[in-house]
Amino acid sequence: MLIDFTPDKALYPFESRWFESSAGRVHYIDEGSGIPILFCHGSPTWSFLYRKIITELGDRFRCLAVDYPGFGLSERPPGYGYTIAEHAAVVGELVDHLGLDQFVIMGQDWGGPIGAAVGVDRADRVRGLVLGNTLLWPTDTWPQKAFSRIMSSSPMQRRILRDNLLVERFLLAELRDTISEAEADHYREVQPSPEARRGIAAMPGQILAARPFLEQLATDVPARLGDTPTLLVWGMKDMAFRPASFLPRMRATFADHRVLELPDARHFIPEHEPGAIAEAIVQRFR
């Protein structure tokens, strides 16, 4: 299943590219030139999340952003499990297919562990990390565990599939005063039907189900990427990834880190503060 939606060039002025991964056909963009930077999105977003940062960086970086299977314009392949491990494997295939070397990885939300897993397996090719409002270990906070259990329940799964709940009530409710209606429609229209939403519906359950994957990541990231130059970017009003709970461990994980605190930003930081994030990336990695 492919998504029949063409982004507005005024909002998403990029050429769509396609990669035939082992899981199915994957959509990505590859814009600009210079140091490669790979953007890994979370849920329930897609590469559209990074459009403003990519526009800012395109004259100084080679910007790549991929939609995981089940997200954005990528295929909804039969038999795909929509697990974090599967997403990381697909992104890794794309990285190897493109021959990326000395590249920076940016990950927000689930893009953090997905991007970090890609980096762990290619540590000698990673130039730097940009991590925002994310985690790299199993969660032990009760709000996230409760969210995972509630959103994985049958009644809530029906609402996610039928009503596009994660997009409407979590993503767009937060961004109500930040993006235009046309931009909001770009998040809606890539998830146009219950069948198209199976990928995003699976993600809340991964908070608990991906625990073995995250346990391994908690060991591998400090061991293999702990000395990698890192930029930590945090929306300080994020109720899901509260800075007091997550930033200290992030700081401790990376010996060579800088922190950009965004005082008024909530969870979806590339929408709230794209200019500040782009400038921090330039200052850190140019």
From 186, 238, 257, 272, active-site residue: 238
Q: What is the pLDDT of residue 210?
A: 97
The verdict on whether 96 is a catalytic residue reads no
Q: What is the pLDDT of residue 70?
A: 97
Q: What is the pLDDT of residue 226?
A: 98
Q: What is the pLDDT of residue 131?
A: 98
Q: What is the pLDDT of residue 58?
A: 86
pLDDT truncated to tens, each residue of the chain (286 aa)?
889 999 999 999 999 999 999 999 999 999 999 999 999 999 999 999 999 999 999 899 999 999 999 999 999 999 999 999 999 999 999 999 999 999 999 999 999 999 999 999 999 999 999 999 999 999 988 889 999 999 999 999 999 999 999 999 999 999 999 999 999 999 999 999 999 999 999 999 999 999 999 999 999 999 999 999 999 999 999 999 999 999 999 999 999 999 999 999 999 999 999 999 999 999 999 8
Torsion of Cα atoms, 203 then 151 then 219 then 95, to 10°: 10
Domains, the chain, ranges and CATH? 16-139+210-285 (3.40.50.1820)
Q: How far is CA 221 from the centre of its chain?
A: 17
From 87, 186, 267, 272, active-site residue: 267
What is the C-alpha to C-alpha distance for residues 137 and 3, in angstroms, rounded to an integer? Answer: 33
**Token pair of 114, please?**
């997905």
Q: What is the pLDDT of residue 152?
A: 97
The verdict on whether 267 is a catalytic residue reads yes
What is the C-alpha to C-alpha distance for residues 181 and 196, in angstroms, rounded to an integer? Answer: 21
The verdict on whether 238 is a catalytic residue reads yes
Backbone angles phi, psi at 138, to 5 degrees: -65, 140
Q: What is the pLDDT of residue 229?
A: 98
From 109, 186, 257, 272, active-site residue: 109
